[in-house]
Homo-oligomer: A and B are copies of this chain.
Amino acid sequence: MSASPSALGDVTPQRMAFEQPLPLQSGAQLPAYELMYETYGTLNAERSNAVLVCHALNASHHAAGTHAGNPKSVGWWDNLIGPGKPLDTERFFVLCVNNPGSCFGSTGPMSLDPATGQPWGSRFPVVTVEDWVDAQARLLDRLGIERLAAVIGGSLGGMQALSWALRYPERVAHCAAIATAPSLSAQNIAFNEVARRAIITDPDFHGGDYYAHGVVPKQGLAVARMIGHITYLSDDAMAAKFGRALRNGALGYGFGVDFEIESYLRYQGDKFSGYFDANSYLLITRALDYFDPARATGGDLARGLAAAQARFLLVSFTTDWRFSPQRSREIVQALVTNRHAVTYAEVDAPQGHDAFLMDHPHYHGVVRAWFDRIAQELSK
């Protein structure tokens, strides 16, 4: 009997190698590469019940379940995915792929560049949301999955879901984009840029080739993570969780930890910089900056989304100030203009952007109902 705290139990990551280079939006290409992925549930005989889950900045292919022998290794969306969960693995075959450029096993800056035998480092090509979608599509080809019952993602994962509906309209029956935006605002880009400056100006960054120096730009990456973390939480959630509470009951009259919020942020920054790769952080924030399905249509989002054929679900959270409900409404409006089918839920949740990772009854109820309908359609 499994001691896993996940309803799904232990899961096993898989690896697939691709010899054919991946052409990138930049004009460059990624030569032979590998993708890490996980699957949950069973692909039906018709191969019609596959649901692709797309991960956000900090996450990986490990979306649900646990890894054997490590009960703490619960997947990042385990509350949503599993037997009897809103995305029910007893009905759907769920896949999640670590995107190239990330740092959890798929080819990225830490991998060896076959041309040099050295880590890619600063020479790893800039990848985009579209490139990731193309890589995911090739994986599906290899698995014999022609058409997805659904693609779903939150935040940057939501952008991948939207991109799927645009690049492969005939391969996506349903598309769920949670807590996302049609593109980053100037303020979003600004936060990314400050985070990148913190990393790049860390002397241990060595122009991105720190692996050879036996160091990592920990301090810069920690600052980057602290900045990101502030934008993931709502002002109210921070006030409720930390307020002005003092760590030691009195002011220290120095620059150590006086306030609980300082302690929390330092902890988050240090923890993150211990496992995440700085080059991956640069690449993934850049992919965020670049995503803009309205770029090719002169800023006209409706025209930019015209090619989609999927039925959509959009969910936003009232206190999310990173990707506010207004940004989801822009997508909804553009889809409605195209007479695409779209369901939209604006969920009253206090947690800010992070709400998309939470087990919230209204939010999960909406996702459950949406997948229930898809399952019913499949069984017809």
Which residues 219-261 of A have a CB within 8 angstroms of B?
219-220, 222-223, 226-227, 230, 233, 235, 238-239, 241-244, 251, 253-255, 258-259, 261
A3 contacts partner chain B, Cβ-Cβ < 8 Å = no
CA distance A327 to B252 in the complex (A): 25
Residue contact B282 to A255, C-beta cutoff 8 Å:
yes
**A109 to B: closest C-beta gap in Å:** 12
Binds B, one of A29-37, A60-68, A184-192, A364-372: A184-192
Residue contact B185 to A197, C-beta cutoff 8 Å:
no
Residue contact A230 to B265, C-beta cutoff 8 Å:
no
CA distance A255 to B194 in the complex (A): 12
CA distance A112 to B126 in the complex (A): 49
CA distance A259 to B184 in the complex (A): 11
A376 contacts partner chain B, Cβ-Cβ < 8 Å = no
A266 contacts partner chain B, Cβ-Cβ < 8 Å = yes
Q: List residues of chain B with CB within 8 A of the CB of A293.
A: none
- Point out the residue from B223, B259, B290 that lies within 8 Å of A251, measured CB to CB: B290
Q: List residues of chain B with CB within 8 A of the CB of A202.
A: 201
| Contact of A187 with B265 at beta-carbon distance under 8 Å, contacts A226-B193, A227-B194, A251-B290 already known | no
Q: List residues of chain B with CB within 8 A of the CB of A194.
A: 223, 226-227, 230, 265
Closest to A326 in B: B235
**A242 to B: closest C-beta gap in Å:** 4
**A74 to B: closest C-beta gap in Å:** 27
Residue contact A184 to B244, C-beta cutoff 8 Å:
yes
**A207 to B: closest C-beta gap in Å:** 10
* Binary CB contact string for chain A from 125 to 143 against chain B (1 if under 8 A, 0 otherwise): 1100000000000000000
Q: List residues of chain B with CB within 8 A of the CB of A200.
A: 255
CA distance A222 to B191 in the complex (A): 14
Which residues 253-299 of A have a CB within 8 angstroms of B?
253-255, 258-259, 261-262, 265-266, 269, 282, 286, 289-290, 292
Residue contact B235 to A191, C-beta cutoff 8 Å:
no
CA distance A237 to B284 in the complex (A): 26
| Contact of A193 with B223 at beta-carbon distance under 8 Å, contacts A126-B253, A186-B239, A253-B126 already known | no
A55 contacts partner chain B, Cβ-Cβ < 8 Å = no
* Binary CB contact string for chain A from 117 to 128 against chain B (1 if under 8 A, 0 otherwise): 000000001100
A196 contacts partner chain B, Cβ-Cβ < 8 Å = yes
Q: List residues of chain B with CB within 8 A of the CB of A292.
A: 244
Residue contact B187 to A230, C-beta cutoff 8 Å:
yes
A13 contacts partner chain B, Cβ-Cβ < 8 Å = no
Q: List residues of chain B with CB within 8 A of the CB of A286.
A: 255
Residue contact B238 to A183, C-beta cutoff 8 Å:
no
Residue contact A235 to B197, C-beta cutoff 8 Å:
no
A198 contacts partner chain B, Cβ-Cβ < 8 Å = yes
For the complex of A and B, list the 6 residue pairs with the smallest distance between their C-beta atoms, beginning with the closest: A201-B219, A26-B253, A186-B238, A126-B253, A186-B242, A194-B226
- Known: A189-B262, A198-B223; 15 extra A-B contacts, CB below 8 A, are A26-B253, A183-B244, A184-B244, A185-B238, A186-B261, A187-B233, A187-B235, A187-B238, A187-B239, A190-B230, A190-B265, A193-B262, A194-B265, A201-B223, A227-B227
